[in-house]
Amino acid sequence: MTESIRTLHTSQLTPADLAAIRSLLHDAFDGDFGEEDWDHTLGGMHVLIQESENGSAKGSENGSGGALVAHGSVIMRRVTHGGRSYRIGYVEALAVRADRRRQGLGGRAMDALEQIIVRSYAFGALSASDEGAALYRSRGWRLWRGRIEGLGPDGPVRFPDEEDSTFVLGPSPDPADSPLAFDWRDGDVL
């Protein structure tokens, strides 16, 4: 089997791509990947890792490179800190098919996502599960050591549960100065 990596904006994904991504995420998150989670995945750059039995990376006419085995996306978010607004790259929906885990695919997807972040944004951020935290730490992501907030419709809302799972990459501001306040969105803000 050979693998191909495709990096595409949401607008470039075919209906078949979107269906394959949605199916992978549903399975990878044991059915706990709802409409709001899906909405958070869209609108940015996607990394798709696909495998092909015949060795062809070209795949079918719709641009598919074979069976989807890993996915991740990076979307633009606004955060404020210390009176300044930052445009950051936020990692969403990193997942590897269950039978292909622990083979380096998550790291390969992160390689591509991190290149997008480094080239396009002030810094990167993500909310890590307990299982995913080790991968991110090994890649140089740092746990944010300050307050986490969301800029809600009625003002700032603190998210203390996110303060032990939010990671940053790149030259991020000093956590001691003020909270990192994320733009509001439906569902999980982070």
In the predicted structure, residue 63 carries a pLDDT above the cut 60: no
- Counts of helices then strands in the chain (DSSP H, E): 4, 10
- In this prediction, residue 60 carries a pLDDT of 37
* 113 domain residue, yes or no: yes
Domain count, the chain: 1
* 50 domain residue, yes or no: yes
Are the C-beta atoms of 124 and 156 separated by less than 8 Å?
no
> What CATH number does the domain containing 103 carry?
3.40.630.30
* 23 domain residue, yes or no: yes
Give the three-state DSSP class for 162.
Answer: helix
* 176 domain residue, yes or no: yes
* 190 domain residue, yes or no: no
Residue percentage of the chain with pLDDT more than 70: 93
* 188 domain residue, yes or no: no
Residue percentage of the chain with pLDDT more than 90: 81
Torsion of CA 125, 128, 132, 136, to 10 degrees: 30
* 88 domain residue, yes or no: yes
- In this prediction, residue 54 carries a pLDDT of 60
pTM score of the predicted model: 0.91
Mean pLDDT of 92-102: 95
At residue 64 the predicted structure's pLDDT band, cuts being 50, 70 and 90, is low
Across 22-44, b (16+ Cβ under 10 Å) vs e yields eebbbebeeeebeeebbebbbeb
